[in-house]
Structures are given as C-alpha cells and as structure tokens.
C-alpha cells in the first residue's frame, strides 16, 4: 500500500467550541457532508470516546464480516481504510465521508467519536446498528495523553498533570468523557439497535464479548471461527499486524509512543499520583452522581 503524505498536518491545532464540544478543524471542516451523510439500514456504526477500544472492535467486526474474503483485504488494506472515520478531514487521506460513500462492502463499518447528539440523523432514521464502546475514565485519560503526545494532528497535551486537568474539564478533542459515556448510555434506553460494550469486558474475556457481538448482529459464526477471531484480535497479534497497528499512518510518531501501547486495565495506577487520584475520584463522584452506567477501573 501507498504511505499517505501527511507532512502538512500540524500539531499546533487549537481547540475551539463546536456545538458545545471541544473540537479541532480536522474533525469539523467537512461538517456539512458529515451532517448530511446518508446512512443505510445495514450500516454498522462503531462509536466511542477516543481511546476506548475503537480499533479493537473495528477489527473484530471486520474479521467477523470479511475475514474469509479475498486475502488482500487483510494483508494490504489498513483498518482506517476499511473502517472510515466519518468526521475525519485530514490532509493525506480521503475524508471519512468520501471513504464511507465509496465502501464497496455490505455492511459498511463506520467509525465515529461523535457525542450522541452530533451523530448524523440518517443513522437514527435508517435504524442502523450501533456498537458503542466505553472505557473507564482513568485508563481512557492515560491512553489519550499518550495519543496526544504522538499524534501530530492532535493538540499538545502538555505534561501529564496539565493533560489530566483538561480531561477533567472536558477540554480535549470530542469534549467531556463524562457527557460522552452518559449521553450514549441514555440513548441505549430508547434505541434498541445499540450495543453498549466495555473495554474492561473485552480484556477480561474477549471470546465472550465476540459472542455478544455475534448475537447482537444476528451472526451465526461457527465456534471455530469465533475462536480464530478471538485469537486474531489479541493485543500482541494486533500490535504485530501492520494493518491494525497504525504504523502505516505517518501522522503518528511511534518513537514517542506506539498506537498499540499497553492495552491494559489499570495502567492508570502507574500515572496517577495519590493526590491526582483523590482529586479525580472527588470530581468523578460529582459528575457521575446521576449516572447509572458503572465502570471498572480494575478487573
């Protein structure tokens, strides 16, 4: 595959308020097309707050649907081309809407990090299936910090403490983690074609979660196939796999941090100081006081 030229992508993107959410231009400059995107009834939207397990679930779904197709798909097409990032509009690769419009597959697998209220309305009108993945706030924050260090299209994170404070304030790209996970959780109460998954469950028992996905999607994948897929989507396998580890996307500097970094539950313990943890827990209690969604910070 051709390595995209992304040399003009700049780290010095400032965040601005977009419909009440902190965003950068790379994610809003194509907004008319995103807003008017035509979803199809068989589309599957993979929605997450950034760094919650998007790539993991995207690749799992890709294997479930297309794992037995022409081998070139698995060997020469990176995951970000197979599963377009809907709102992405970044130099060097086609926009998310363009890629999605031109996907030859059925179903189309489409990725988004949008909070629920900004999802193009055609997904709801078409009753498309949606898989939402959530990850506990502490690990999510740590993963996001390292991503903002290594991704030249993301705003500077500053040091860990500076990053953490902006994360708590909801001032990172795609806004507040708290609003994101709660907004999607509430949607699940009224929209039955939404499966709400947790990163921690995937780590605890990937095979069980693959089976859950199959049952939600009405797939009659054989036990043997499910087992093969469960193996293929393990952290080490995906880290080695050039098509899933993002090493083909030059906007990321793996010398700073790899995309497939640790893939663990509880890595926050090696980042949070005692004081940061106490402050975080205090704010969490406040922000999540009316929330019914529950997270595990260790398994």
Active site members: 113
Q: 3-class DSSP state for residue 141?
A: helix
In whole angstroms, what is the distance from residue 74 CA to residue 53 CA? 20
In whole angstroms, what is the distance from residue 23 CA to residue 21 CA? 6
* Segment interacting with ligand PPS, rule: CB under 6 A, options 93-101, 114-122, 175-183, 255-263: 255-263
Q: How many CA atoms lie within 13 A of 187 on its CB side?
A: 23
Residue from 110, 152, 238, 243 binding ligand PPS (CB under 6 A):
238
Between residues 32 and 249, which has the closer beta carbon with respect to ligand PPS? 249
Interacting residues of 116 by C-beta distance below 8 A, sequence separation 6+: 47, 180, 183, 184, 186, 187
What are the helix (H) ranges across the chain? 31-35, 54-66, 71-76, 79-82, 96-101, 121-125, 137-150, 160-169, 177-190, 199-204, 206-217, 223-232, 235-240, 274-287
Interacting residues of 267 by C-beta distance below 8 A, sequence separation 6+: 139, 142, 143
143 belongs to the binding site for ligand PPS (CB under 6 A): yes
Answer left, alpha or beta for residue 275, where phi above 0 means left and psi between -120 and 50 means alpha.
Answer: alpha
181 belongs to the binding site for ligand PPS (CB under 6 A): no
Residues 6-25 binding ligand PPS (CB under 6 A) are none
Residue from 37, 56, 132, 198 binding ligand PPS (CB under 6 A):
56
Between residues 120 and 153, which has the closer beta carbon with respect to ligand PPS? 153
47 belongs to the binding site for ligand PPS (CB under 6 A): no
53 belongs to the binding site for ligand PPS (CB under 6 A): yes
Answer left, alpha or beta for residue 122, where phi above 0 means left and psi between -120 and 50 means alpha.
Answer: alpha
Between residues 53 and 120, which has the closer beta carbon with respect to ligand PPS? 53
Between residues 262 and 287, which has the closer beta carbon with respect to ligand PPS? 262
153 belongs to the binding site for ligand PPS (CB under 6 A): no
Between residues 77 and 290, which has the closer beta carbon with respect to ligand PPS? 77
54 belongs to the binding site for ligand PPS (CB under 6 A): yes
* Residue closest to ligand PPS (Cβ): 263
Residue from 35, 188, 261, 296 binding ligand PPS (CB under 6 A):
261
The contact set with ligand PPS (CB under 6 A) reads 48, 50-56, 139, 143, 146-147, 233-235, 238, 260-263, 267
């Amino acid at each position: 595959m051709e390595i995209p030229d992304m040399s003009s992508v700049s780290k010095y993107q400032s965040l601005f308020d977009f419909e009440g959410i902190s965003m950068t231009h790379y994610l809003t400059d194509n907004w008319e097309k995103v807003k008017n995107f035509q979803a199809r009834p068989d589309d599957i939207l993979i929605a997450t707050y950034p760094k919650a397990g998007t790539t993991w679930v995207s690749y799992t779904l890709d294997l479930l649907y297309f794992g037995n197709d022409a081998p070139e798909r698995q060997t020469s097409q990176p995951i970000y081309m197979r599963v377009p990032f809907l709102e992405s509009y970044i130099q060097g690769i086609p926009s998310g809407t363009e890629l999605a419009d031109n996907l030859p597959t059925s179903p189309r697998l489409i990725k988004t990090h949008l909070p629920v209220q900004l999802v193009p309305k055609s997904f709801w009108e078409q009753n498309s299936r949606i898989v939402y993945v959530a990850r506990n706030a502490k690990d999510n924050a740590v993963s996001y910090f390292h991503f903002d260090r290594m991704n030249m299209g993301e705003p500077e994170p500053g040091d860990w403490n500076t990053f953490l404070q902006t994360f708590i304030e909801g001032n990172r790209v795609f806004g507040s983690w708290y609003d994101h996970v709660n907004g999607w959780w509430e949607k699940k109460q009224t929209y039955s074609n939404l499966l709400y998954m947790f990163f921690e469950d995937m780590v605890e028992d990937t095979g069980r979660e693959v089976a859950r996905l199959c049952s939600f999607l009405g797939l009659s994948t054989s036990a043997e196939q499910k087992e093969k897929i469960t193996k293929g989507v393990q952290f080490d396998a995906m880290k080695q796999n050039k098509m899933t580890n993002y090493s083909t996307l030059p906007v990321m500097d793996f010398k700073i941090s790899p995309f497939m970094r640790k893939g663990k539950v509880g890595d926050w313990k090696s980042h949070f100081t005692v004081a940061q943890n106490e402050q975080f827990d205090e704010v969490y209690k406040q922000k999540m006081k009316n929330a019914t969604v529950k997270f595990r910070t260790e398994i």
